[in-house]
Chain A
Amino acid sequence: MSDPQTRVPGASADQLEWHRVHPVTPLVRAWAAVLVLLFVLGNQALDSLSSLGEVAGQVVRLWWVAVLALLLFLLVVAGVSWLAWRMTTYAVDDTAAHLRKGILFRQQRHARLDRLQAVDVRQPLVARLFGLAELTLEVAGGADSAVRIGFLRLDDANALRADLLARAAGVKARRAAGTREPAQAEVRDQAAVREQVTSDQQSDAAGVPGAATGVVPDAEAPRDAVAAVAAPVPEPVLEAPENAVYEVPPGRLVASLLRLPVIWIILLAFVGLGVAVGVTRNFGLLGSVLPGLFGAGAYLFSRFAGEFGFRAAISPDGIRLRHGLLETRAQTIPPGRVQALSLTQGFWWRGKGWWRVKVNVAGYGVEGNSETQHVLLPVGPRDEALTALWLVLPDLRTDEVAPLLDEGLTGDARTDRWFTTSPRTARIFDPISWRRNGFAVAERVLLLRTGRLTRSLVVVPHERTQSLGVEQGPWQRRRGVASFAVHSTPGPVGPRVPHLASGVVAGLLDEQSVRARTARAHQPPERWMEQVTALPEVADGRDGTA
């Protein structure tokens, strides 16, 4: 069992170059366990100390035994973690990322890069202290399918991410197995192409009202990863330059959280609690309500900490999102990986005109650890929300579509020109928002609008439709309506419109499956840079809309 490790680096059957993660990794992963262990042991030591206080001599002897046992235990733990570290190796080639781990049960995982859905660089609090980061490759393979490479030094993680994205984009795929210099030259060449693209998109961003606060004129500054490339990446890869698009100031984030209904529930609970305790003099009530309050507070704090310092940027490698107060996360979502998108406005955000933008990305959904992973814009005015939408779907940034989006965000049946809404017979099912519930079809996307108090607009690109569903209950049938749903990958966005007229649903079902099929036939390649260089007509089409 112990001899595989001797031939791990570089000596495997193929010519993959295997790398190790940072040696501090076990400590960073297990710090909580170590703390708990120390705490428990300390507690028990104290207990035994106090209970055996009268036989002091024996205690001293036992104390040494305990210390010895602890040391032995720590030694075993350290040995096992050292072994685990030795056995964890990763490698990257042009088509896949490989990860090997496990001591007794060896696990080898190969993630195909053309199926790459997103790359996250995550820094938990403890890892930040060491300047380490974990790289997560999402490949949409169901539960726990992500490839986690960690921990690495932050610079190495960034360089590895740039390398992975370049390979996944197809920049390196056509490179011949030549000498080092031409390869380098081509990489730089491709980087130049990327810069070209970015400057195009930059002019896009500059045109967006209220956006483009920190636009870098000549894309010089963001090449931070170039100098810092170290051993893990054999050839330095230029990180695709990026342009900042929007950021969420902390003040706005706090204000937006204060406008959530949770706050009012908490306040009401406090007031009610105060009154109840004041009247009954029964302080036991406090204990009964506190867990709920803690839960609400924890939710608020997790949202604040998760969405703190939210910044979005666009690069040829996709959308870059950075956020987090304690644990920071830098997400990269390559082009065409967003399956569905929603813009929502809770009732209490309406006064400010704020919107929240969430996305479904395959691979994110199954993790379910944090809601923030799905957030494209935590809170922002309408302009920024539309900018976020355009980051995902640049085709929607035309003057023709603008009134359509307006209608989707705030319109209803009385002002509609494009949206098809519920018939009047559906009023009894949804007396408040029957005029809002509806859909509209644009060239590239399906727009689903629901909710009057909490407004919501869901945008699904035609080529991202997984399957379609219709449901109808007995009462709905008497009223001649049915509910329509587009099935998307797991995530916070559920594209669905209730209570549309049956005939409309029948038509939509037919047309939408045709549209989805046509759009899929024309969808851009998985390796997104190939369309820039190899398919000029696609690039032309994009320029035409911009």
Chain B
Amino acid sequence: MTSPAPEPRPGAGADAGAPASPAASSSDPFQPADVTWARVSPRLIPVRWILVAFWVGLPALVCAVLAVLLTVWLWIPAGVLAAALLWAVLLIPRQVRAIGYAERDDDLLIRKGILFRQLVVVPYGRMQFVDVSAGPLARRFGIATVQLHTAAASTDAEIPGLAPGEAERLRDRLTAHGEARLAGL
């Protein structure tokens, strides 16, 4: 796989000047071959709804009340907030369904996002520690968050909305994998 001297990579850089063919998108980086994605629990949807209702819906309500009491100008922020709330409420189910993770032999893949998609590949041997956390709201709905930490601060490897049993299983598996493939920094 590795050669002593860097070889010219055929077809990759040479035709960079030419217009890229649409065939390039045929192999999607967000859908690696032979990977089956595990979904997170749908109970994450109501949790996020409640959070959005609290942080966006409540201010919208306050603005609306103040608009009735004080000045009509406050209808503008109220409207904007209400629109954002509606958008978020419609978007959240799709967002939650878009979160996926996959355990491969040597690394864990985490995918999220619909419009702005991101994918993180975390090798088991690189994990420094695993966090399992659940806030009061998440506990009430019976979900937990598993977060992987590597030595890189920029590794954003968080899986929200796992059933507690699944979270524990994942934590134990990750820890076992990490010990088996332990490497230094």
**B106 touching A517 by the CB < 8 A rule?**
yes
In chain B, what residue has the closest Cβ to A403? B6
Q: Which of the 9-residue segments A214-222, A247-255, A411-419 touches chain B?
A: A411-419
- Taking A362-B151, A469-B118 as contacts, is the C-beta distance between A423 and B30 under 8 angstroms? no
| B26 lies within 8 A of A503 (CB) | yes
State whether A440 and B6 are in contact (beta carbons under 8 Å apart), knowing that A467-B155, A506-B32 are contacts in the complex: yes
Report B87 CB to chain A, min CB distance, Å.
15
Interface string of A475-518 (1 = CB under 8 A from B): 00100101001011110001000000111111101110111111
Q: Give the interface of A toward B (CB within 8 A).
A: 115, 117, 140, 337, 339, 362, 365, 400-401, 404, 413-414, 416-425, 435, 438, 440-443, 463-474, 477, 480, 482, 485, 487-490, 494, 501-507, 509-511, 513-518, 520, 523, 526
Instruction: Give A10 Cβ to nearest chain B Cβ, in Å.
Output: 33
Q: Is B2 an interface residue (CB 8 A)?
A: yes
Q: Contact: A472 with B117, CB < 8 Å?
A: yes
Given contacts A413-B13, A470-B119, A515-B1, contact A506 B27 (CB under 8 A): yes
Residue of A nearest to B26 (CB): A503
Q: A424-B19, A487-B152, A513-B123 are in contact. Are A507 and B27 (CB under 8 A)?
A: yes
Query: What residues of chain B lie closer than 8 Å to A510, measured between beta carbons?
Result: 32
6 contacts between A and B (CB under 8 A): A140-B151, A400-B5, A418-B8, A467-B150, A505-B29, A515-B1
Expressed in whole angstroms, the minimum distance between the Cβ of A137 and any Cβ of chain B is 15
Q: What CA separation (Å) do A438 and B185 show in the bound complex?
A: 26
Q: Output the least CB separation between A487 and chain B (Å).
A: 4
Give Cα A117–Cα B151 distance, bound, in whole angstroms: 13
Which residue of chain B is the closest to A516 with respect to CB atoms? B123
CB-defined contacts of A400 to chain B, threshold 8 Å = 4-6
Q: Is there an interface contact between B19 and A474, defined as CB atoms closer than 8 Å?
A: no
Contact between chains at A466 and B152 (CB < 8 Å)? yes
**A438 touching B13, Cβ below 8 Å:** yes
Is A520 a contact partner of B125 (Cβ separation < 8 A)?
yes
In whole Å, how far is B132's beta carbon from the nearest beta carbon of chain A? 19
B135 at the interface (CB under 8 A from A): no
- 8 further A-B pairs in the complex, CB-CB below 8 A; given A443-B6, A467-B157, A469-B155: A339-B151, A422-B16, A424-B16, A425-B19, A466-B152, A503-B24, A510-B32, A517-B125
Q: Please give the distance in Å from B42's CB to the nearest CB on chain A.
A: 25
| Nearest CB of chain A from residue B113's CB, rounded to whole Å | 8
- From residue B18, how far is it (CB to closest CB) to chain A in Å? 7
A423–B20 contact, CB under 8 A? yes
Contacts of A443 in B (CB 8 A): 2-6
Say whether, besides A400-B4, A467-B157, A487-B150, A526 and B184 are in contact (CB < 8 Å): yes
Q: Which residue of B lies closest to A419 (CB)?
A: B13
CA distance A520 to B126 in the complex (A): 10
Cβ B154 vs Cβ A487 within 8 A: yes
B1–chain A nearest beta-carbon distance, Å:
7
Instruction: Please indicate which of the listed interface residues A502, A506, A516 has the most CB atoms of chain B within 10 Å of its own CB.
Output: A506
Q: How far is the CA of A485 from the CA of B13 in the complex (A)?
A: 19
Q: Given that A472-B118, A513-B106, A523-B184 are known contacts, is A442 also in contact with B6, CB under 8 Å in the complex?
A: yes
Q: Is B107 an interface residue (CB 8 A)?
A: yes
Q: Within 8 Å of chain A (Cβ to Cβ): is B158?
A: no
Whether the Cβ atoms of A513 and B107 lie closer than 8 Å is: yes
Interface pairs A-B: 7 shortest CB-CB: A423-B20, A466-B152, A487-B152, A506-B29, A400-B5, A503-B24, A420-B12
How many Å from the CB of B107 to the closest CB on chain A? Answer: 6
Chain B: CB-nearest residue to A510? B32
B71 in contact (CB, < 8 A) = no
A490→B153 contact, CB < 8 A: yes
**In the docked arrangement, what's the CA distance between A480 and B122, Å?**
24
Q: In the complex, how many angstroms separate the beta carbon of B111 from the nearest chain A beta carbon?
A: 9
Determine whether B121 belongs to the interface, using a CB cutoff of 8 Å to chain A: yes
B166 within 8 A of A: no
How close is A448's CB to chain B, nearest CB, in angstroms? 14
Given contacts A416-B16, A425-B20, A480 and B185 within 8 Å (CB-CB): no
Is B103 among interface residues, defined by CB-CB distance under 8 A? Answer: no
Contact partner, A418, options B13, B119, B157, B184, Cβ 8 Å: B13
When the two chains form their complex, are residues B123 and A472 in contact, meaning their CB atoms are under 8 A apart? Answer: no
Q: Which residues of chain B are within 8 angstroms of A465 by Cβ–Cβ distance?
A: 123, 126
Minimum CB–CB distance from A424 to chain B (whole Å) comes to: 5
Report B18-56 CB contacts with A as 1/0, cut-off 8 Å.
Answer: 111011111111101000000000000000000000000
Q: Is the CB of B155 within 8 A of A502?
A: no
- Interface hub of B16, B20, B27, B150 (most chain A Cβ within 10 A): B16
Q: Are B2 and A515 in contact (CB under 8 A)?
A: yes
Closest to A363 in B: B185
- A464–B22 alpha-carbon span in the complex (Å): 34
B32 and A117 contact, CB distance less than 8 A: no
Asked if B120 and A469 make an inter-chain contact with CB atoms under 8 angstroms apart, the answer reads yes
Q: How far is the CA of A442 from the CA of B7 in the complex (A)?
A: 8
Partner of A424, one of B9, B18, B185: B18
**Interchain CA distance A284-B111 in the complex, whole Å:** 55
For window 141-179 of B, CB contacts with A under 8 Å fall at: 150-157
Bound complex: CA of A115 vs CA of B184, how far in Å?
8
Q: Is the CB of A509 within 8 A of B29?
A: yes
Q: Which residue in chain B gives the minimum CB-CB distance to A366? A: B153
List, in ascending order, chain B residues with CB within 8 A of A503's CB: 23-27, 29
Q: Which residue of B lies closest to A422 (CB)?
A: B16
Determine if A474 and B116 form an interchain contact, defined as CB atoms under 8 angstroms apart. yes
Q: Are A470 and B16 in contact (CB under 8 A)?
A: no
Q: What is the CB-to-nearest-CB distance from B167 to chain A, in angstroms, rounded to a whole number?
A: 20
Whether B62 sits at the interface, judged by CB under 8 Å, is no
What separation, in Å, do the CA atoms of A117 and B185 have in the docked complex?
9
Contact A421 B13 (CB under 8 A): yes
Distance from B86 Cβ to chain A, minimum over Cβ atoms (Å): 20
- Tell me, rounded to whole Å, the shortest Cβ–Cβ distance linking A423 to chain B: 3
Q: Are B185 and A140 in contact (CB-based, < 8 A)?
A: yes
Q: Does B76 contact A (CB under 8 A)?
A: no
Query: A502 and B24: CB pair below 8 A?
Result: yes
User: Is the CB–CB distance between A418 and B20 below 8 Å?
Assistant: no
Candidates A339, A419, A466, A514; contact of B1 at CB < 8 Å: A514
